[in-house]
Structure 1
């Protein structure tokens, strides 16, 4: 049996040892009002998402050199006509420059207009951490629908646990059962992704490589799925508890204290990189009162033991994005 490392660390900041996993502490809860409202409002965007296209950045080499801090913050690709994605991207870049200390890759898509903006046309892929769970689950539900892949009720529950409370033990089981190592190549081929790749070591699923542009396209794909598949994924994310299974508080980024209205997101966190000093903190999902915008925030930062500084940096970027996108509700 393959050995898996816990890729997410506890709130206390203790680095996981190779082969160590924490016991599951997931408790089922009654769906929150946020879950119900999110599902109904986001559903309104499905027909729109199916009728418009995202602008995706060009090819990227997985072996590109690691950038210096903030070197990803360059002029965005895609439309520059004063649209919400471009304005939000500009705000995110300014916020990241202001707080300093992080490499940032951003993707923003307006599902209503199809306009998108990304921080660079040639991003350096980052370790996915728990965003790998989204890629794997998209692969499984697509294969079930298109190829008749057997997926039982137990598997569906594992998916919900992996997405909402970010349960690593559930992900370990899914990774083993459904050829997790092949998920990134299959999804990349299916959706035309250019920067998503399987981990070099198949026992470390958190080291899957992703880019903001690719994950933006993945979320758009989720919204065009048949209702049952879409609701499985979006519903699980909307039901995410405040504290993950491993004890890590998920109140940062798109789910930070500043957030108002609807925000449905997958959070990701991982330390400590090959150098033992690098942390990956991500937040990616749907925001806006009608779930109008896909927002992907990927960050690479210096590891701090209690994670609060990393959270504050990414939340500052998310707050700047929210400030721009919240105006869409009042203007339209």
Structure 2
């Protein structure tokens, strides 16, 4: 960890009167505890991390971040809200690095798009990405803590369970590029019970990323999605669109949807991806657009996307003897299917 205890306390706006110990990193889970980590005692509806503070100390935590005093005063930083504090420290650390940050959000396709972008940008230099679906107010900060000065790119997935979460995630990571894959009736419960009200709220929630992009940033929007295009009207960023049907900056033509691959053309270049369905054409187009503004050539992208394989359980093709299985069983909302 490249922050001192004084810098940590300042970032957290916490109370601390303890001693100086070496800081290695950050964790929220004592099962993954390393000696020297700062342990954040997070609270949720079914757990309270404060119960694990003694275990964290026993395993060698340098400090614990708590909402209450503990019997370890020389190692305890007291804050008002540990989840907020986790994000505040990640926000402080993000500002230590000069790299291009890409944020991907949307109702469907976030993870595959993120993986495609990361695969392409890795050809240009060290690139970091969110692990699995680390896309919430815990996972996004933990991803930031994994950044190093060597990274040239970071590709993060931003998700939400309620309004305001994407705004906070955007504040933490300060992205240069935002990607909106699509907007569909997901998250109905937390954002409203009536169908029209829910979609309106989802649009507002997804727009939280793009509302915070400046005129020197770039927004990539699905041009075939009328709901997503409402977000394009709100942002100050330079807007680029990708599509299959509508006229756009990155439009796929001559689609061929086969049982084991998908093919399409873009700017006289033929692309072949081993990811099934038209939804993965949209994912690939978003990745191509991001890579284009990052200076990657189309020939490089074509080769990398041809070798790309989708994440586990996301439209992956498996064979068992003479039987072909298309495994798209990852947890998703109905509009993904």
Same topology, TM > 0.5: no
| TM-score category, normalised to shorter length | under 0.3
Q: If each structure's strand is expressed as a fraction of its own residues, which one has the higher value?
A: 2
Q: If each structure's helix is expressed as a fraction of its own residues, which one has the higher value?
A: 1
Bigger CA radius of gyration: 2
Identify which of structures 1 and 2 has the higher relative contact order when contacts are C-alpha pairs closer than 8 Å and 6+ apart.
Answer: 1
TM-score, normalising length: structure 1:
0.28
TM-score, normalising length: structure 2:
0.27
